[in-house]
Amino acid sequence: MAAKFQPGDRVRIRVGSPPGHFRTPAYVQGKTGVVEVLHGAFPNPESLAHGGDGLPKQFLYLVRFDQTSVWPHYLTTLQDKLLIDIYEHWLEPA
Amino acid sequence: MDHTDHDHAHDRHAPIEDREELTYYERRTWAIQALLVEKGVITADEVRQQIEAVDARTPADGAKVVARAWVDPAFKSRLLHDAKAAVTELGFDSGESPILVAVENTPKVHNVVVCTLCSCYPRALLGLPPDWYKSLSYRSRAVVDPRGVLQEFGLELEPDVEVRVYDSSADMRYLVVPARPPGTAHMSEAELASLVTRDSMIGVTKPRAPEQLTDLKAAAPA
Amino acid sequence: MMEQRVHDRGGWPDAGLIDRAEHTYAMWEKRTDAIRGLLGAKHIIRTDDLRRAIESIEPVKYERLSYYERWLVAVEALLVEKGFLTHEEVDRKMEEWQTCER
C-alpha cells in the first residue's frame, strides 16, 4: 500500500473526536498545511492503546503550518511555523 | 513468623527512608512494587538497575553529539539525515522506537520542541525532562506563543528569524542542534560540549557563550 | 465546536507564566518511572496504554495531580485492567506496611 501524500503536498487535517485515544490535537484540526517529511509507516496508536495490534500501519507525516493560519491572533508579519507529526488517516488533500 | 520472609515493600539492603514523612503516593509506589515483586513480575534488583540506567543518561550525552556536529560538517550532515544512526558513531543508542530526529538552528531559523499532549522528550540523549517542559503552561503556550515563551527564558529573536515549533505528537523525538556560538574557533570539542546546555537542545535558549564558561570556572570552588 | 480534552493542552487558554523551578526527583518518582520502564520492556504496558490511561484520569484530578502522580494512577489502573493486581490488594499492602513498623 503506497503513501497517499508526498513532501510538498498541501493537506488539511480532519476534524474529529473519536471516543478512544488519538494523537491529533484539537488546535490543528481543520487547518491546512504542507507535508514536510514522509516518515514511513508506523503502528496505529488508536489501535495499540486499546489492546489492538496497531495494524494496519499508517503512514506518518511531518506537516508544516504557517502559525498565522493556525492561530487567529498570531502576528502576521512573522514567518513562524508549526510542525507536527500526523497519521495519514487524519489527512485529506487540500 | 520468621522475620526474614516478612518482606516489606522495600529492599532490605537499600537505604531506608523516613517512613513517617512519606506521602500517600510514595507509600502506594512501594506497595505496588512489593506486590509486583511478590507476584514475580519484576524484581527489586531490576528496579534498582533501571533507576541507575535512567540516572546515567544526562544532557551531557546530547552535548557531545552537538559538539561533534559543530566540528565535523560531514557528521552534522549525517546527524540531520538520520540521527538514530549518527549517534551510534559516538557510542549512544537512541533505541528502535521512538525515533530520534535532529533539527538544526541557523541564524535565520530557530527550532523549539514541545509535546502538547503529554511529555514526549528525547530521553535517550538528554535524560529526564525538566518539570517546566512537562508543565501545563509550557504545553499550552509553546505552540501558540513561542516567542513569549522564549522571552521568559531570556531569548529574544529578531522578527526575520523563522521560529519553528515542533509538537512531538507521534513516534519521533526531536533534538535541537543549536547554532555554534561565535568566538569559539579556538575551542576543543570537549570545551564546545560544555557550552551546550539542555535547554539549548530543547530550543528555549541558546548555548552558553565562551565568556560564560570562564565565569563558571572562576566561580567554581578551588 | 469540538471538545478539547483535558490532556490536549496546545493553545489552552489562561495558561500563565511558566514556573521554571526544577525539583530534584524524589525516590518514589524515580521508582515509578523505573516500574513503568520495566513493565514496558516486558511488554506488559505499552506507551500507548499509559497515555490512554493518563488521558482517562478525570479532568479535575488530571490538573491537580503532579506528573508522576498521574503516572502512578495510570500504571495502577493498567495493572488492575490487565489482571496483575487489584486496588484492594494495593490498599491492604499499604496498611500492612504501616502497621509493621518497628
Complex-level ipTM: 0.98
Domain CATH number, residue B177 = 3.90.330.10
Are B197 and B126 contacting, i.e. CB atoms less than 8 angstroms apart? no
Judge whether B82 is closer than 8 Å to chain C, CB to CB.
Answer: no
Judge whether B162 is closer than 8 Å to chain A, CB to CB.
Answer: yes
C10 contacts A20? CB cut-off 8 A: no
Residues of A in contact with B164 (CB under 8 A): 80-83
Within a domain: C20: no
Provide the residue range defining the domain that includes C53. Answer: 27-99
Within a domain: B148: yes
Residues of chain A with pLDDT under 50: none
Within a domain: C39: yes
The per-residue pLDDT for A1 is: 83
C38 contacts B47? CB cut-off 8 A: yes
- B94, B97, B118, B140: which is the annotated catalytic residue? B118
Give me the mean pLDDT over the B52-75 stretch. Answer: 97
DSSP C8-53: --TT-SS--------PPPPHHHHHHHHHHHHHHHTTSS-HHHHHHH
Within a domain: C76: yes
Are C56 and C1 contacting, i.e. CB atoms less than 8 angstroms apart? no
**Domains held by chain B: number:** 2
B188 assigned to active site = no
Residue B48 and residue B68 in one domain: no
Domain CATH number, residue A64 = 2.30.30.50
Mean pLDDT taken over chain B: 90
DSSP annotation of B108 reads S
Query: Does a cis peptide bond (omega within 30 degrees of 0) precede residue B98?
Result: yes
B97 assigned to active site = no
Within a domain: A3: no
The per-residue pLDDT for B101 is: 98
C2 contacts A26? CB cut-off 8 A: yes
Provide the residue range defining the domain that includes A35. Answer: 10-93
Q: C96 in helix, strand or coil?
A: helix
Mean pLDDT taken over chain A: 97
The per-residue pLDDT for B1 is: 39
Provide the residue range defining the domain that includes B37. Answer: 22-56
Give me the mean pLDDT over the B61-82 stretch. Answer: 98
DSSP A65-76: EEHHHH-TTS-T
Task: Give the model's confidence band at B222: pLDDT under 50 very low, under 70 low, under 90 confident, else very high.
Answer: low
Would you say residue B2 has pLDDT above 90?
no
Residues of C in contact with B126 (CB under 8 A): none
A45 contacts C11? CB cut-off 8 A: no
**Could you read off the pLDDT of B154-173 as tens digits, one per residue?**
999 999 999 999 999 999 99
Would you say residue B28 has pLDDT above 70?
yes
- Percent of chain B scored above 90 by pLDDT? 82
For residues B164 and A66, give the distance between their C-alpha atoms in angstroms, rounded to a whole number: 9
Domain CATH number, residue C73 = 1.10.472.20
Residue of B nearest to C96 (CA): B8
C3 contacts A21? CB cut-off 8 A: no
Type of residue found at B168: S
Residue B187 and residue B113 in one domain: yes
Residue A81 has φ and ψ, to the nearest 5°, of: -125, 155
Q: Which of C4, C11, C48 sits opposite A49 (nearest CB)?
A: C48
Which carries the bigger pLDDT value, residue C78 or residue B215?
Answer: C78
Within a domain: B205: yes
Residue B68 and residue B26 in one domain: no
The per-residue pLDDT for B79 is: 98
**Domains held by chain A: number:** 1
The per-residue pLDDT for A31 is: 98
Largest CA distance in chain A: 47
The per-residue pLDDT for B97 is: 87
The per-residue pLDDT for C100 is: 62
Exposure string of B194-204, with b = 16+ CB inside 10 Å and e = fewer, is bbbbbbbbbbb
Q: How many residues does chain C have?
A: 102
pTM value > 0.90: yes
The per-residue pLDDT for B221 is: 67
B120 assigned to active site = yes
Q: Which of B28, B132, B153 sits opposite C90 (nearest CB)?
A: B28
The per-residue pLDDT for B96 is: 85
Residue B139 and residue B32 in one domain: no
